[in-house]
Every structure is written in structure tokens, then in C-alpha cells.
Amino acid sequence: MKNYNRIKLREILRSSYWFVPTLMTGGAITLAFFMLTLDLTGKSGLMEKLGLKTYTGGGDSALTLLSTIASSMITVAGTVFSVTLVALTLASQQFGPRVLRNFMQDIRFQFVLGTFIGTFIYCLLVLRSVHVDGEQPFVPKISITVAILLAIASIIVLIYFIHHASTSIHAWHIIREISEELESNIDDLFSENRGNRHPEHKRQLVEKIPTGFDQQAYPILATGSGYIRAIDYDHLMNIAKSKDLLLYFKHRPGKFIIRGSELVRILPPERVNRKLTKQINHAFILGRERTAFQDVEFSIKQLVEIAIRAISPAVNDPFTAIRCIDQLSAALCRLAARDFPSPYCYDDNNNLRLVTNQVTFAGLVDDAFHQIRQYGRQDVAVTIRLLEVIATIAECTHNKKNRAPLLRHANMIRRGSHNLLEELDREDIEARYDTVIRALSSLDIN
């Protein structure tokens, strides 16, 4: 359970725009006091002996220099924040509000803002230590030298920020990042040795589910509302083994639950108590928004949203939609080659303990194609590309039961194209449909 809490904390910190700048500000404060300590202990002469040049100006010029750097850094920091808000607004309007999560988790934006704020704080702290008047004037040469170096580094970071901000709102950049996250989730969620789930060929043990389970099992109700971000299956397995329970899951990560709705059903019901109810609720990590962790559907729906916005009459950008379809096909090809984990989880003695609510290949195909097919029905290029990628996925599909959803979607796309006015367009679509049929038929030959 501690691992899942760490993951939840990491997601919160990654999505917080204040975390990295705060850390860098703390680092700038530490650096300022360290450098001032070196100046106070007279280490500037030692630096020169080592061949390291330090600031050689007087106190007045030091005050002017530090004031100039500090004022310019806070001005640039405000500009960076404004540009970031503009980028977020443009991305939200063009690609949907859900992609804002990707921008908020972009540590490069946070690092740039933290660089300018950190440099500003550092100059302020050094500035207050400069004394021009009095019997013992003090000019911290090492600290001022570091301030100049930080200013130069900030200029380099500003140039990088301009480049990154301009490229981060490009469609190809956003689609690529979502696709990489999707592939990573597929590799993690569908790894061969994940949890205690047996592969497909051991599903014959399902007959051990007691008759009348739905009538006898006791429902555990949710104590909160929100999206299920993660489920600690290992923790629930340990509970089920220690108390000799069978747990049936009503929901999976990514689904929204409300307070009082069923989370799981438990058998035998007489072992349910307040402590067990609390333990099970703690194994379900809820949040206000969906995340990609344990939820492969989330990234798929992000790509789908970008695609249907691109083919809307207001945007009319089928090339972006086709790029999304291509990335979806790559993910579905990867999924078609994987063995989906069984929803039935057994302990070491082959006792059924958990019956989980798992995603299926058919469900993921529906998530990927339904809305694009519906919104892109009158777009010939999108329709043709859908059939082409279905044929490509079919060539990667070696499980017979995974052919049905591909054929179903190909048939729906074909029927939807009958309303097209141009006969040659219908012929092109018919040719792509025949390619799908041949690809699916070739599986029987092989």
C-alpha cells in the first residue's frame, strides 16, 4: 500500500506547478548563504590563486549589477508564466482540456520558471549583504560572480524556453507524448508476470465460484466519490488470503464512483466488519481526475479526443486525426500481441480470491474507433485510414476471439460509407474493406 501512496504523491507533485520552482528557490537560498559564507571567511583570494576570476568592481557597481539582474529575472519570470498560460489556453481549445495534465506535468516548464525565480531570490539575498558605506565596507566578490553566472545561465534557459514553448503546442508533439505514455502503460499493465493473475488457459478454474454468489455476497460500499486512480491488488489479495475471502470487483481503474456505490462483493458475508470495510476502501485510491496509471483507456481516449476535435467543422484538420489513428493502431497492434490478464486471481494454493473487472481487447478497440468512426463518417480520408489500420491490426492479431471486434468495426465503417455521394470514394472504401477481410481470413490459413 505504501508503494501506491508514493505513486499518488508523485502524481500530485508532478501536476503541481509550484513544486519544482519551490525546490529550486530553496536551493538558491542555500547557495546564497554558502557563497556569502565563503566571502565572509576571505576565500576570494584563494579562488584567484586557483585561477578562478571573481568580481573586481566596487560596491556601487555591485549594487547596480545585482539590482539589474534581480529586476530583469522577476520580469522574465512573469513573462514566462504568461507565455505558459497562453500555451495552456491554446492547447485546451485545440486539443481538449484533458491534455492540460501533460503540460502541468512537464517538468521543463517548471524548471524554467524555477531558474528565474531562484536567480531573483539569490540576487536579493546577496544584495542585502553588500555594504558600501561605513568603516568596514563589504563586497561579496564570490557571491556576485556566481550571480553573473546564474544570469548567463538564465539567458540560455530563456532561449531554450522559447524553443520548447513553441514546439510543445504542436499537434505532433502532444500526440507523441500521449502515445509514449500509452505504450509505457501497455508494457506495465500487460507484463507477463504482473500480480497473481493466471493466463487465459487457466480460466477453467472459474467453476469454483460458488453458486448463488450474487445473492449471498455482501456489498462493500464506497466511502468517497471520485475517479479510481489505482487499486492495490496485492493488498487486497493479502486480505483475501488472511481472512479466507472471495472478492468480486465492480469497477476498475478509470471509472467514476460515488459515495455509497458498490466497490466489491465479499463472500462469506459473516466475516465483514467495519475494519475490513475500511481496509478495502483504502485499497482504492480515488482522485478528482483520471490519470494514466493503471488506466490504459485514459491515454486512448486522449488520442480519440484530439482526433474528433481535428475532424470537427470548426477545425477541419484530418491530417491530425489520421496521425492519431496511426498512433492508436500502433497501440492496438501492441495489445493484440499480448495475453490479457485473466480477471480471476488465485492464491498459491489455487484458491480463487479475486474476480477483477479487467479491460478487454474488444473494449479497447471500441474506445479507439467508435467516436472517430461516428464523427468522421463523411471524411473519406479518415474513413479509408480507419480501414487501413484495422487491416494492419488484423495482421498482428493471432487470437481468434480478437477478430470479431475488428470485423464489427470494419462492417460499421463500410455501412456508414454508403451515404457518400461520390461513387469512386465508395469504391476506394470497398477496396480497403476487402483488404481487411483478406487480412482476417489469412489467420485461418496460418
**CA-angle at 244, arms to 354 and 227, nearest 5°:** 35
Instruction: For the chain, give the secondary structure using H, E and C.
Output: CHHHHHHHHHHHHHCCCCHHHHHHHHHHHHHHHHHHHHHHCCCHHHHHHCCCCCCCCCHHHHHHHHHHHHHHHHHHHHHHHHHHHHHHHHHHHHHCHHHHHHHHCCHHHHHHHHHHHHHHHHHHHHHCCCECCCCCCECCHHHHHHHHHHHHHHHHHHHHHHHHHHHHCCHHHHHHHHHHHHHHHHHHHCCCCCCCECCHHHHHHHHHCCCCHHHHCEEEECCCCEEEEEECHHHHHHHHHHHCCEEEECCCCCCEECCCCEEEEEECHHHCCHHHHHHHHHCEEEECCCCCCCCHHHHHHHHHHHHHHHCCCCCCCHHHHHHHHHHHHHHHHHHHCCCCCCCEEECCCCCEEEECCCCCHHHHHHHHHHHHHHHCCCCHHHHHHHHHHHHHHHHHCCCHHHHHHHHHHHHHHHHHHHHCCCHHHHHHHHHHHHHHHHHHHHHHHC
pLDDT of 332 reads 93
> How do the domains of the chain map onto residue ranges?
2-169, 183-193+296-339+358-445, 206-287
| C-alpha cell, 114 | 524555477
Confidence of residue 13 (pLDDT cuts 50, 70, 90): low
- Averaged pLDDT, 326-336: 92
Q: What's 206-287's CATH class? A: alpha beta
pLDDT of 6 reads 64
The span from the CA of 352 to the CA of 364, in Å, is 26
User: Is the model's pLDDT at 56 over the cut of 70?
Assistant: yes
The span from the CA of 426 to the CA of 407, in Å, is 18
pTM, two decimal places: 0.79
- Contacts within 8 Å (CB) and 24+ apart, 374-378: 375/308, 375/311, 375/312, 376/307, 376/308, 376/311, 376/318, 376/321, 377/416, 377/417, 377/419, 378/419, 378/420
User: Is the model's pLDDT at 94 over the cut of 80?
Assistant: no
pLDDT of 54 reads 75
Q: Between the CA atoms of 172, 176, 177 and 180, what dihedral angle is there, to the nearest 10 degrees?
A: 180
pLDDT of 5 reads 60
CA 292 to chain centre: 5
- Averaged pLDDT, 292-299: 86
- Averaged pLDDT, 391-403: 87
Confidence of residue 369 (pLDDT cuts 50, 70, 90): very high
The span from the CA of 248 to the CA of 218, in Å, is 10
- Averaged pLDDT, 273-301: 87
| C-alpha cell, 107 | 517538468
The span from the CA of 84 to the CA of 187, in Å, is 32
The answer to whether the CB of 229 falls within 8 A of the CB of 292 is no
Q: What is the pLDDT of residues 345-356, one digit of tens each?
A: 888 888 888 888
How would you classify the pairing of strands 352-355 and 256-257? Answer: unpaired
Residue from 388, 384, 379, 367 nearest 435 by CA = 388
Return the higher-pLDDT residue of 136 and 281: 281
- At residue 245, φ and ψ (nearest 5 deg) are -115, 160
The span from the CA of 374 to the CA of 372, in Å, is 5
List of residues 6+ apart from 66 with CB closer than 8 A: 123, 126, 127, 130, 144, 147
Identity of the amino acid at 308 = I
- Give the range among 27-41, 46-60, 80-94, 102-116 with minimum mean pLDDT: 46-60
Cα separation values, 199 from 117, 341, 363, Å:
53, 6, 19
User: Is the model's pLDDT at 194 over the cut of 70?
Assistant: no
pLDDT of 370 reads 92
Q: What is the pLDDT of residues 79-89, one digit of tens each?
A: 888 877 777 77
The span from the CA of 45 to the CA of 36, in Å, is 14
